[in-house]
Amino acid sequence: MKLVRYGRPGKEKPGLIDEEGKLRDLSGVIADIDATQLSDKALRKLGKIEESTLPLVRGNPRFGVPLARVGKFIGIGLNYADHAAEAGLPAPAEPIVFMKAVSCLNGPDDAVMLPKGSKKTDWEVELGVVIGSRARYVSEADALSFVAGYCVVNDLSERSFQLERGPQWDKGKGCDTFGPVGPWLVTRDEVYDVQRLDLYLELNGKRMQTGSTETMIFSVAQIVSYVSQFMTLEPGDIIATGTPPGVGAGRKPQRFLKKGDSLRLGIAGLGEQQQDVIAYQAV
């Protein structure tokens, strides 16, 4: 299934994308798409619904983050061999783990806002892993059974905050709007091989990132197992699993986002995001 949440910010309704690519309303079946709907049992129940019986949604509504009330938003750094090479860094011996503030979560096509004082805001297309059941000290062999599904994530990063203002990566990762997720949450059963997915990102129509999850240093199963050794993963947690080469910081000369830029990014089978970049706006 391709699960979505659609509507105005804070007023999203649950839905799904049917086999014809049409949006169907799920609000008559479930209240929302959240942790309670991510277990294998709950997903099997949703999967038994005859899609044609669900109301069609007309027009082109906004898509929100396809999961409500995300608990943890975890990132993995330097997880593609070709990205580590472009950064001039050795491949890490263990996964680099950081946190993105859940307040940075953003709809897949919502505007990206440059933070106040931004000098080096960068893009990163990434595979997102949505946890479906509690995972604590799980083995690599069992790890994928704890995954509900997958999604596209843009792990936006302010490099000067991340790398030039102390060792805490989190400072450059959790700015408002720096976590577009979606458009869909694609359930695990629809992804035949998560280590053979193509990723791409375009800036103003020019291809910047082209990659494949084949070049991950640590596989999805390894990541889920590894992170579960240090924290309990709960249903509704999201892990962003690293980015392929082509980020702005790795280009010569470097290129960072500015007001008026537009981003288009996606992953095979998981959908596409499009974002306009806007200047900082005080709340």
Q: What is the pLDDT of residues 235-265, one digit of tens each?
A: 999 999 999 999 999 999 999 999 999 999 9
Is 111 domain-assigned? Answer: yes
pLDDT at 164: 82
Q: Which domain CATH number covers 94?
A: 3.90.850.10
Answer whether 195's CB lies under 8 Å from 214's CB: yes
Is 61 domain-assigned? Answer: no
Q: Which domain holds residue 21?
A: 2-53
Reply yes or no on whether the pLDDT at 145 is more than 90.
yes
pLDDT class of 83 with cuts at 50, 70, 90: confident
Shared-domain flag, residues 250 and 180? yes
Strands 112-113 and 73-77, bridge-based pairing: unpaired
Reply yes or no on whether the pLDDT at 85 is more than 90.
no
Q: What is the mean pLDDT of residues 222-236?
A: 98
pLDDT at 24: 98
CB atoms within 10 A of CB 206: 8
Is 107 domain-assigned? Answer: yes
Number of domains in the chain: 2
Reply yes or no on whether the pLDDT at 283 is more than 80.
no
Shared-domain flag, residues 47 and 84? no
pLDDT at 276: 98
Reply yes or no on whether the pLDDT at 18 is more than 80.
yes
Q: Is the pTM of this model over 0.95?
A: yes
Shared-domain flag, residues 173 and 145? yes
pLDDT at 25: 98
pLDDT at 84: 84
pLDDT at 167: 78
Shared-domain flag, residues 132 and 208? yes
* pLDDT per position as a tens digit, 87-107: 788 899 999 999 999 999 999
3-state class (DSSP) for residue 114: coil
- For residue 40, give the H/E element and its range: helix 40-47
User: How far is the C-alpha of 275 from the C-alpha of 123, rounded, in Å?
Assistant: 11
